[in-house]
Amino acid sequence: MKNLLLLINVIKRSLLLIGVIFFCEKASSQCVNADFSMNDFTNWVGSTGENSSGVYSNVVAGLHLGTPNSLPIDTGQQTILNIPATDPNTGNLLNVLPPGGTTSCRLGNELVNYGAERLKYVVNVDSGNCLFTYQYAVVLEDPAHPLSDQPKFNIYVMDSSGVVVDTVWGMYQVSSQTGLPGWHDATHLADGELDHWKDWTAVAVDLSAHIGENITIQFTTYDCAQGAHYGYAYLSCYCGAHSFRQVCNGKLDKISMPQGFISYLWNSGETTKSIIRSIKNAGDSLICRGITESRDTMVFRGVVTCQITGIDEIPSADNIVSIYPNPTKDNLTIEVLQNSTIEIQNIQGQIIRTINNADKETTIDLRDLPCGIYIIKVRTEKGIEIRKFVKE
């Protein structure tokens, strides 16, 4: 009994833990080294080739590795970057690492001779990694050739048959030209040629319709097809569940959308990436529309599910719930001033019993429960009250 009381006192000082909508959100290690965080090309497949009238041809399997953290003048065509720096061909305005990231890869270089290079990453899709986000930045020289001969950059997200799985989020094709929305201009220092460059962009691709399948994300950069002008890109990727992320902090719940969208719109009207709710809002509906760069929308739905996993109690202003006896060995009586819905949770926050439309006085047989600490959540028209009890 002393040990049990000691345990209660310890848990009283504990904080609320993390809760997640839909699926338990798994770490980005689900897509191991998609962000090049291992400082190598583990799980990536590379090749080099040539730009033959816009076609990736004369392909040579394997990586042509560059010196890590080298400038684009390096001869390598797949290069790991893990030191903050800027790209000299953008007036040093483009960071070589993604926002908030510590590693990336440069695909291609500023050397020429019809060069082209490719990287592929394969995801075995499950509920924990079905939202794949690729990040890219691009530098393309502009020699004003016919468009088919210009330096270019492509991204394709494909199934095992090579079919693009989503023509909105799963495909990006761009050739060097003036007036591209969101692009910037600079002058190549070596020859004075015009460069076009695009800053880091994150795009989220919903792969939930492909759970159980192998999906390939393919990136290809091309120099010009006439042999004298370059194109290269910077890459980093990650994945997670198609879900909000909820973090309980005290009695507040921070709910966040994944990255990969340029703007957000919640059903509350808020437009920030994250919103704050009280845990008394548990069960409230959540809808957020993530707007992509192409102005398309991906909808996320769920409810506020931040759970009490400590022993802290949350009474309402009216204190309308009482429970007894506590501790108990067999039966527990719950008295409420009005009809309610009652949930019993274990200390991990798992719901083990639900009573809908409970009477004002409800007695519950707990003889089948193991000894330990449990949480009761009572939902009424006036809100939610949290109580704890001990099963001896």
Quote the pLDDT of residue 195.
94
3-17, 141-155, 354-368: range with lowest mean pLDDT: 3-17
Q: pLDDT for 332-378, tens place per residue?
A: 888 887 788 888 888 667 888 888 888 888 888 888 888 888 888 88
Confidence category of residue 73, pLDDT binned at 50, 70, 90 = very high
pLDDT(263) > 60: yes
Residue type at 258 in one-letter notation: P
Order of all β-strands in the sheet with 383-391: 351-358, 340-346, 372-380, 383-391
Q: In the predicted model, is pLDDT for residue 37 greater than 90?
A: yes
- Structure tokens that stand for 96 in this block: 């070589």
Q: pLDDT digit string (tens) for 269-303? A: 999 988 887 766 666 778 898 887 767 788 888 77
> Which pLDDT score, from 0 to 100, does residue 324 have?
83
Mean pLDDT across the chain: 84
Length of the chain: 392
DSSP state of 343: E
Per-residue pLDDT, averaged over 141-145, amounts to: 95
- 209-223 average pLDDT score: 96
HEC letters along 188-238: CCCCCCEEEEEEEEEEEEECHHHCCCEEEEEEEEECCCCCCCCEEEEEEEE
140 within 8 A of 196, measured Cβ to Cβ: yes
Rounded to 5 degrees, what angle do the CA atoms 14, 17, 20 make? 165
Amino acid at 43: N
* Cβ-based burial of 123 (10 A; exposed 0-12, middle 13-18, buried ≥19): buried
Domains, the chain, with CATH or none: 2-14+310-391 (2.60.40.3080), 28-240 (2.60.120.260), 244-303 (no CATH)
- CA neighbor of 138 nearest in space, from 233, 230, 235, 223: 233
pLDDT at 248: 64
Model pLDDT, residue 38: 95
pTM above 0.75, yes or no: no
Complete edge-to-edge strand list for the sheet that includes strand 115-124: 55-61, 44-52, 115-124, 214-222, 152-158, 171-175
